Structure formats: C-alpha cells, structure tokens
Structure 1
Amino acid sequence: RKGEGEGEGDGEGEGDGEGGIGSGRNGPQACGECGGSGQTFDKPFGDADSGSGADGMQRPYEEGEPGPGNEVSGLSDIEARMVRKEVAKQIRDAVKNRGNVPGGWKMWADEELGVPKYDWRSELKKVVSHSMHVIPGDGHRSFKRLNRRCASLGHRVILPSTHDTSPQVCIIQDTSGSMGSDNMRVSLEETTGLLKAVQASVTYINCDAAADKAQNVYNVKDIDLHGGGGTDMRVGIKAALESRPSPDVLILFTDGYTPWPEERIPRGKQLIVCLVG
C-alpha cells in the first residue's frame, strides 16, 4: 500500500493493508471511515499506557480488584488505616493554613480523626481544679502545727494553726523524640494556662528515657527544655514523687507511647495524664 490518497468521497483509498496508513502500533493512526483528507494522528503518549485508571478498562498486566478469590498484595488493614489518618491530618493542616479545602474533605478528615465533640481544655481545667481542692489537709486551719496561742493558755487548750491550702503542683513533660514540635507546642500552651491557674511556683520536670532535674518555674519562659531520646514516663513520675516539696498534684503531658507504673500512686496524691497528639 502506498499510504497516500486524496481521501475524497467515502474515505476509501487505495489498498486494504491491515495496519492502515503507517501500519504497526508505533505508527500514526488514520480513520478511513471518517472521510476527509486522510489526516493522520499520533498516539498522544506514544507507547505509554496509563492503565485502567485512564479509561476503566482492566489491562492484562493488572491484578484486578481485591476481593474473594483474588487476594492481591498491598497494604494491610492497619497500614491502610495509618495512611488514611496521615491524609486526614494533612487535610486538617491545610484547612488551618489556607482555608481553601473543599468542605467534604474537611468533614471526612474530622470523622477519620475522631474530632472530639467537647472542649477537652475545659475538661482538663475542671479535673485540675477538683484535684487542687480535695487534697489532704484542705481547709483554713489544721492541727498539724499548734497555734502559738496555746503557750499563753498553758497548753491546756489545743488550738489549730492556719493552714496554707495552696497545693504543690508538679508538671512532668514528655520530651522524647516521638512528641514532635506540634505536641510540644500544645503541651506548653496548656502549661501556660496551668501556671496562671495555680498563681504560684510549679515544679517542672523534663523526661524522655531519663528524668531531668526539677525546675521551679513561674512562666513558660523559665523552662529549660531537654530531651529527644527514648520514652519512659515511669522515671518522670518517680522523680516527681521524690522531689521536694512533695507535690500534691502531678500533671503529665505525653503522647502515650510509654510504659506505665505497675504500682498505684501513693495515697493523697493526684496524677493527671494529658494525652496530646
């Protein structure tokens, strides 16, 4: 076949070669039934094949849709769930940064991440406030120390002395490598609120796989952060209980990837765990 012709009339040209003009799959394609001048067209991507994702037609080299009788390799259920969580987090971050994410995507991300329906900061405030008001010895007067007036009365009458009800608070901060900058930022924001609520010095302990020396802080600017290693909050809790003055309320900020003490917190102490992330 010559591969030429005017293409007039019904589009029939000379010869009836199998491949048409420029026969073979690598050559240009022509439609002899369309009439016209016999114009030729190349494949838009040459030999490239986009697979069934382009036209919905399964290719021989594709494994097909996973299902009964067609067990194909791929992500496990856990891996797939982790991928969905990561995509949902990125969508949520995009909503915060630019605000041009479609509403349907945001709704899906909120459902996937399980966005709480209550204000957890308000719940934390309630728990901390309750713990600070039920500590042992709570009250305006206590018999732990005798009133100085007892001496003038010949110690015949025992009077209580005024007791300071301000609780001793110790904050234990998980500074392990798994926390990341976002979790640390949230922890420090909540620490700022706690310092304002207590209105007193708070003991602060950094902890990863080892507990740092306790710091007395009035402001988050006073905090000297250390860490970045492994995670074991047991040593942080132990260090807090052994610190002086002994804390009444222990508040632990962590992502939860840590072993936990097997023994109970000593009687009269309150441990509040704040899971972030």
Structure 2
Amino acid sequence: MPLLTTLVDTFNDNVIGPNWGDSYGGVSEVGGQARVPLVAGAYAGYQTGRAWTLAGASIYLKTPVLPAASTGTDVGVHFMITSAVDGTAIGFKINRVTAKLRMQSNVDYFDAAAVEITYDAVNHLWLRLREDGVNVYWDTSPNGSTWTNRRTLATPAWITAAVDTCAVDLFCYRDAGTTDYAAYDNVNTLSDGAVVTATGTGTMTTAATGAAARTATGTGTGALDIAATAAASAVYHGTGSGSLDTDATATAGGTDHNDIDVQLGKPHSGWVVSPPWR
C-alpha cells in the first residue's frame, strides 16, 4: 500500500521522474522545479498514476513561483489528491485573481463548505494535506517545519475506500491572459541539495604549496644545487643529481644540512697529522 508520505521528489535532476507518468499539457522540470505552463484555455499538470493512498498519510510541498493574474478571470494553481471518481478530490487552490487560498473537499468538482483565506506568499509558501484515520487537515507553513492548521474535516468515506487508487494532481489553468507558468518543489522533503560537478585543468608538474606545520615533498631534475625551500616550520625534501659538494638549503624553521668541505695541503711545521692522513 504506497502511502503518499513515501512520495518524495526534489525535481533537481531536471528530468520528469517515473512517479509523474500521467503528467500532461507540456509540463517540464527546469532549474530544480516542476514547471507547469499556464496557457489561456488549456489545463496542464504534474500527475501521478492512480496508485497511492491518502488514508493514514500526509503530503506536503511548496509553490515558489506563481503566475500573474494578467487579464484572466480564472487563474488557479492547484494541489489536489484525486479519487477514481471524476470530480471527487481534496486539496488546495491558490486563486490568483481573488488572491485567496481555498481548502476544498470536492464532490462533482465543487465544495460548498470550502474554507478560503487571503493568500500570503510568505506564510502559505508550503502546503500540507494529511489524514489520521479521523480527520483530514489542511496546513500551511512559511518554511516546511512550523505548520498552522487552516481547516479540519471529518475524513470523507472515499479516502478510506480509495486505497491504492488516488493520484496527485498539481495542475494549473488560466482562462485568459499572458502565458506564464507556476512551479512546484520539494514534495515531502526539506532537503534541496544537489550534486554539483566542476572540472579543472592543470599539469602533472604543477607545484603543491604547504602551509606552516605541513609537510611537502618536491622533486627536481638537473644539478643538485637546486634548493628545496620550506616556509615557517614546513619540511621540504629535494632530490636530484650533481656534484657531491652541492648544498641543499632550508629556510624559516628548516634544518641546514650543508656539507663540510675539507681542504688538504702539504704538511708543514706545527701540523699534527693523524690517521688516515699520514
């Protein structure tokens, strides 16, 4: 029994997922959001198949982008759970002409007892519908965490009976006006993370720099008198080839391991020559 609580989508992959296989009207997934166009006289929506259950479940989402009223007299953004019976559904409608948020439980496409409040783009950004075996609740939130109940209704019989036959329909409609769109996001999740992949270029010989108290190792080719330098207590190691009397130099907290040069000459009076030199 797939509860609606288990339906989760961030829309971050910009591909309409398989859960929304009944979508219609030219919808798309753009910029990490489910985008539904509003074209005069046409319906469009993200829709699941009829395989879900609202009884004992909850579902929430946010509506970050709403259409303009333009010259329309009926411009609506809907978040509905529909039954297998046409016109029987429950959920929210944001009316862009009247600026009202409507909590409705429709039979034959209408609810005479629907509750309407003035829509607030901040405090009503997130919408939630839930059922607990007794009642259905319509809730709103500014952040998806702190919720305010807006309507409570004894659970309609069809919700209990419609196990595995409900669909989620996120649909929009305008009767007139300029074409634009609404966007839905974050179905049953507060996480909006995405994987961002970046690329870079460089060469295998690019130097690595070590900060204080780090250790860095560098290699070089050529004469051994190429110095390896370390800053502020870092230890750097240099390798190379060349004459034996070539120095390796360390600075600022490194250790000086200069070779000792010995000059030999002919013995003369006052010298004491000991092994192995005599």
Determine which structure has greater relative contact order: mean sequence separation of CA pairs < 8 Å that are 6+ residues apart, divided by chain length. 2
Q: Which one has a larger percent helix, Structure 1 or Structure 2?
A: 1
User: Is TM > 0.5 for Structure 1 vs Structure 2?
Assistant: no
Report TM bin, short chain: under 0.3
Instruction: Provide TM-score, normalisation by structure 1.
Output: 0.23
Q: Pick the structure with more strand per residue.
A: 2
